[in-house]
């Protein structure tokens, strides 16, 4: 038995994004720009979560394409695979292995409370996949396989992060003796913190300011995709739903006006200004002026990314090489975690 106190790594960032559909402005403002900023100050691990994607049926050829497309979108947006680890979940077996252990730690009652399952399963939950139900356990495994401490996500993932903390805590307490015997006096898994920051943590649909902008919305007009061309972006913003009033001059005047709130919020996030600043410029005026300038701003920010994505997608072998290299580096960190989990739980390892 060792007496030294082993500690968890400080400040390790992990986040993931599903490779389904094309990435939209909500993904970009809610998640991606934070991920990119954090790579300057933290050790970062970013994952394309294909095992999560198949909790809903995916066309296999499209899924393969989407994995490469999302990888390209990350790199095009400024994620540097030399600074951060960028990889694909199914290429690192530790995720699925740890998820099984967590299936045995998490309680049915905890999963029953997950609102994302209720949203995605729809009315007939008997027909939902079992994978969709245990989705949050796999997400906990993604994060904890690296014993990550910080998880940048959009507002909608907060509940899943709370579950991750509950799983870490229960594992630490259920196996406290074995964990202490390995030399960890403060628990084996850290309790990871969600990092929900920036003006764009909840970007809403352009067709309905009370609904989240989402890949699964049947209306293309509801979202701006990162790869939309300038005309498409301008058209979607022009057609965005508004209300009959003028824009207010004070932030309080946005209350109860979800569409106005959303457009001002998107403007604020893209221009890195406050809501107040935006309303100083546009308050008292019509939506059309705000929309015109917002379209120009969105095109200015997104068009170079779209061009870069197209360039990267022309060389899929290079994307695969980046992912293979990322998986190799990820495995080196995750494999010792799994070995220790096996020791702690009482499983034999080869």
Residues known to be catalytic? 120, 212, 215
Q: Are the C-beta atoms of 223 and 213 separated by less than 8 Å? A: yes
**Judged by CB under 6 A, which of 215, 241, 329, 331 binds ligand AMP?**
215
The end-to-end CA distance of the chain, in Å, is 21
Q: What are the structure tokens assigned to 276, written together?
A: 């107040």
Q: Does residue 151 bind ligand TRP (CB under 6 A)?
A: yes
Concatenated DSSP letters of 31-48: IIHHHHHHTTTSEEEEEE
Give how many residues touch ligand TRP by CB under 6 A: 14
Residue 1: DSSP 8-state = -
Contact between 71 and ligand AMP by CB under 6 A: the answer reads no
Q: From the list ligand AMP, ligand TRP, none, pick the one residue 257 interacts with, judged by a Cβ distance below 5 to 8 Å according to partner type.
A: none
Only segment of 26-34, 168-176, 230-238, 326-334 that touches ligand AMP (CB under 6 A)? 26-34
Collect contacts of 337-342 with beta carbons under 8 A, ≥24 apart.
Answer: 337/94, 337/98, 337/144, 337/145, 337/146, 337/147, 338/94, 338/97, 338/98, 338/145, 340/182, 340/188, 341/98, 341/101, 341/188
Comparing CB distances to ligand AMP, the nearer of 233 and 344 is 233
- 3's tokens: 């007496």
137 binds ligand TRP (CB under 6 A): no
Work out which of 164, 201, 222, 337 binds ligand AMP, going by CB under 6 A. Answer: 201
208 contributes a contact to ligand AMP by CB under 6 A? no
Asked if 97 touches ligand TRP (CB under 6 A), the answer is no
34 contributes a contact to ligand AMP by CB under 6 A:
no
Applying CB under 6 A, the residues found at the interface with ligand AMP are 17-18, 26-27, 30-31, 153-154, 156-157, 200-203, 212-213, 215
């Amino acid at each position: 038995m060792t007496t030294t106190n082993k500690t968890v790594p400080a400040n390790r960032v992990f986040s993931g994004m599903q490779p389904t559909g094309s990435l939209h402005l909500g993904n970009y403002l809610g998640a991606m720009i934070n991920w990119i900023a954090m790579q300057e100050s933290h050790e970062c691990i970013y994952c394309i979560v294909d095992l999560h994607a198949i909790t809903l049926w995916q066309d296999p050829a499209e899924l393969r394409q989407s994995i490469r497309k999302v990888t390209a979108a990350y790199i095009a947006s400024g994620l540097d695979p030399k600074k951060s680890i960028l990889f694909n979940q199914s290429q690192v077996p530790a995720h699925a292995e740890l998820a099984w252990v967590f299936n045995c730690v998490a309680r049915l009652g905890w999963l029953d409370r997950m609102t994302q399952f209720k949203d995605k399963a729809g009315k007939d939950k008997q027909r939902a996949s079992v994978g969709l139900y245990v989705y949050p356990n796999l997400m906990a495994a993604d994060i904890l396989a690296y014993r990550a401490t910080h998880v940048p996500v959009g507002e909608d993932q907060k509940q899943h992060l709370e579950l991750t903390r509950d799983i870490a805590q229960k594992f630490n307490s259920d196996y406290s003796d074995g964990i202490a015997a390995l030399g960890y006096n403060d628990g084996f898994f850290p309790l990871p913190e969600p990092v929900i920051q920036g003006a764009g943590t909840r970007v809403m649909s352009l067709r309905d300011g009370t609904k989240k902008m989402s890949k699964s919305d049947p209306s293309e007009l509801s979202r701006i995709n990162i790869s939309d061309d300038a005309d498409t972006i301008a058209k979607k913003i022009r057609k965005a739903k508004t209300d009959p009033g003028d824009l207010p001059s004070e932030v309080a005047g946005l209350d109860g006006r979800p569409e106005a709130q959303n457009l001002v919020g998107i403007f604020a996030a893209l221009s890195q200004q406050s809501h107040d600043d935006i309303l100083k410029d546009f308050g008292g005026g019509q939506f059309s002026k705000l929309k015109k300038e917002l379209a120009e701003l969105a095109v200015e920010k997104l068009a170079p990314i779209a061009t870069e994505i197209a360039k990267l997608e022309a060389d899929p072998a290079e994307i695969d090489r980046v992912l293979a290299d990322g998986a190799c580096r990820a495995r080196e960190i995750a494999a010792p975690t799994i070995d220790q989990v096996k020791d702690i739980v009482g499983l034999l390892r080869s």
